[in-house]
């Protein structure tokens, strides 16, 4: 895959994420009117879910932006931790990956101890 193709792929993903984020925001802003007390819990639950999804989209958007930056500087496809090239297979699956599989797995293990919320990249590592 050449740089131009990667850039196109990342730009498409970027658009998609921006639309997701915009869509969620629009949904949250829709006036709901008075909510019966019984419904309150489920409304809060829905808001929590879109908040989570929004967070994940924001995190991925940041990764995509960083990947586009690295494409510009010629650092794309190099693991930020060990500076080895990231495998083409991984970049095909996750074009915005910034760590190779061994480093990613090592970090996921470390993060699992510290952070109960899954980081966007950790979720994508298993896609």
Q: Name the residues that contact Zn ion, by CB under 5 A.
A: 79, 81-82, 100, 103
CB of 46 or CB of 83, closer to Zn ion = 83
Of residues 28, 26, 19, 30, the one with CA closest to residue 49: 28
Q: Least separation, in Å, of the C-beta of 65 and Zn ion?
A: 21
CB of residue 111 to Zn ion, shortest distance in Å? 15
Q: 59 or 86: whose CB is closer to Zn ion?
A: 86
CB of 125 to Zn ion, least distance (A): 13
Q: Which residues of 44-80 are buried (b: 16+ CB within 10 A; e: fewer)?
A: eeeeeeeeeebebbebbbebbebbbebbeeeebbbbe
Q: What is the smallest separation between the CB atom of 77 and Zn ion, expressed in angstroms?
A: 11
Smaller CB separation from Zn ion, 27 or 85: 85
Residue number, 44 or 83, with CB nearest to Zn ion = 83
Nearest to 102, CA basis, from 120, 81, 117, 88? 81
Rounded CA-CA distance 7/59 in Å is 19
């Amino acid at each position: 895959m050449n740089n131009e193709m990667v850039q196109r792929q990342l730009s498409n993903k970027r658009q998609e994420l921006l639309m997701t984020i915009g869509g969620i925001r629009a949904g949250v802003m829709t006036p709901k009117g008075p909510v019966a007390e019984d419904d309150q819990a489920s409304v809060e639950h829905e808001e929590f879910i879109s908040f989570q999804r929004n967070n994940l989209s924001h995190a991925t958007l940041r990764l995509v932006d960083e990947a586009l930056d690295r494409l510009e500087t010629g650092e794309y496809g190099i693991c930020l931790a060990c500076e080895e090239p990231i495998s083409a297979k991984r970049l095909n699956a996750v074009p915005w990956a910034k760590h190779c599989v061994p480093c990613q797995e090592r970090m996921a293990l470390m993060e699992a101890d510290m952070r109960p919320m899954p980081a966007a990249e950790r979720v994508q590592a298993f896609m």
